[in-house]
């Protein structure tokens, strides 16, 4: 028997002031798109902004539906859009931010399991890590080095060969 460590070092920024100008502007884009999210049922608005290697930005917000399972999370709206519009351009970073219906969200909004799985597909495909930044409406910002770090022992296409 052996024990293997599968964790990662989470970087925690105390506030936006500690971010690079590039990360701050990505987070700002995520906030802008979050405010236009279509979330009439949950009231929970999420915005995601991607920075591509080309310098291009792609954004997404959650899109809900009266038939609940038909809606989609912000992260998948963004990465699917990037996949459709810029299929050959790697994604460098994604910033994710969320706001609640009532109380001001002061803890970072971590992507759900389905979004982690979807983002892993793009990371695996491009062969380079996608950095993830997350924040609530205010407060600390988390940085994760890759999607794989958020989905240890993940399932990818290599199992299907
Ligand atoms: N949501 C996201 O957009 N991203 C996530 O990673 C978690 C949840 C959305 C889906 C739904 O519209 C609302 O937040 C409440 O779950």
Average pLDDT over residues 139-144: 98
- DSSP string across 57-118: EEEEE-B--SSGGG-B-HHHHHHHHHHHH-TTS-EEEEEEEEE-SSS---S--PPPHHHHHH
> Structure pTM?
0.97
* Among protein residues, the one whose CA lies closest to atom 2 of ligand 1: 73
CA dihedral 11, 12, 13, 19 (to 10 degrees): 30
Q: Is residue 16 annotated as a catalytic residue, yes or no?
A: no
pLDDT at 90 over 90: yes
- In this structure, what token pair is assigned to residue 19? 């971010």
Q: What residues have CB less than 8 Å from 22, skipping those under 6 apart?
A: 51
Q: 147 C-alpha to center of ligand 1: Å?
A: 17
Max CA separation in the chain (angstroms): 51
Average pLDDT over residues 106-135: 97
Confidence of residue 81 (pLDDT cuts 50, 70, 90): very high
- In this structure, what token pair is assigned to residue 127? 């062969």
Average pLDDT over residues 98-110: 94
pLDDT at 109 over 90: no
Q: Which of 35, 38, 44 to mutate to test the pocket of ligand 1 (most atoms within 8 A of CB)?
A: 44
Q: 4 C-alpha to center of ligand 1: Å?
A: 32
- In this structure, what token pair is assigned to residue 65? 């539906």
Average pLDDT over residues 89-106: 96
């Amino acid at each position: 028997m052996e024990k293997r460590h599968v964790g990662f070092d989470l970087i925690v920024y105390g506030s936006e002031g500690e971010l690079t100008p590039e990360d701050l502007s990505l987070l700002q884009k995520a906030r802008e798109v979050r405010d236009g999210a279509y979330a009439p049922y949950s009231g929970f608005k999420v915005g995601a902004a991607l920075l591509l290697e080309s310098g291009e930005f792609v954004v997404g917000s959650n899109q809900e539906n009266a038939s609940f399972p038909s809606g989609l999370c912000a992260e998948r709206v963004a990465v699917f859009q990037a996949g459709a519009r810029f299929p050959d351009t790697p994604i460098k970073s994604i910033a994710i931010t969320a706001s609640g219906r009532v109380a001001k969200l002061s803890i970072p909004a971590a992507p759900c399991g389905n979004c982690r799985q979807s983002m892993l597909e793009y990371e695996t495909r491009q062969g380079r890590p996608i950095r993830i930044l997350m924040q609530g409406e205010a407060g600390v910002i988390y940085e994760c080095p890759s999607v794989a770090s958020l989905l240890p022992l993940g399932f990818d296409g290599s199992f299907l060969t």
